[in-house]
Chains A and B, each alone.
Chain A
């Protein structure tokens, strides 16, 4: 499968625990986005990377959220001290981003987080 992949697909954790999700973008894509989707809503933008640089992170929901893309390939999203309100689907998307024609974003299957 050459599409965007995410791991794990499901995560159940207890309130207060830390969780980390991984996203592997389409191989030649240098832009990577994280979104959060709650039930019945559209995805909500969190942050994005151009190669290894995190160029927009003001939309991260709190300082408990952080993301990295250390080598410009895969990315991780970490949530510290999880709260029940963090329960949602976390989606990753990637885009070519190398020219003005590269707007299309392709989504991964998501990681569904349940905080108990």
Chain B
């Protein structure tokens, strides 16, 4: 089955700096890669996603890049703000069920 690895597990940045979280996946048939933000005690919230036919996607301060050959994708957050502090999960979707296999999460802390 699919396996998604996520690094780093914790990341601290100064407010205004950029943050990068990286994921690798194992199943070359995976074709959809969402990123979720989860604040403590709250539901995972979809913040950005990318399909396998696209190499990069941006939405304001957030961008995701995908390298299908290397089977890795990354989340980039620019001009970080304290409210960006949360756990971020990457995931890969595969199969007719389009079920998601998640990474283990990255605790991002933005220091004021």
* A residues neighboring B (CB under 8 Å): 4, 31, 33, 35, 40-45, 48, 55-56, 59, 91, 95, 97, 103-110
Contact = CB atoms under 8 A, between A and B. Distances in A.
A42 B98 contact: no
Given A42-B89, A56-B97, A91-B44, 5 more contacts: A42-B102, A43-B100, A43-B102, A104-B46, A105-B46
B101 interface: yes
Interface residues of B, number: 25
Contact of B43 (A41, A103, A110): A110
B10 to A, nearest CB: 11
Contacts, number: 60
A107 to B, nearest CB: 5
B101 A45 contact: yes
Nearest to A97: B98
Contact of B93 (A35, A103, A106, A110): A103
Contacts of A45: 99-101
B99 A56 contact: yes
B70 to A, nearest CB: 21
Contacts of B101: 45
Contact of B34 (A35, A105, A108, A109): A105
A4 B42 CA distance: 13
Contacts of B34: 103-105
Contact of B100 (A97, A105, A109): A105
A109 B43 CA distance: 5
A103 B98 contact: yes
Contacts of B42: 109
B47 to A, nearest CB: 11
B102 A44 contact: yes
Nearest to A101: B51
B91 interface: yes
A26 B44 CA distance: 15
Contact of A107 (B43, B93, B104): B43
A9 to B, nearest CB: 10
Interface in B54-112: 89, 91, 93, 96-105
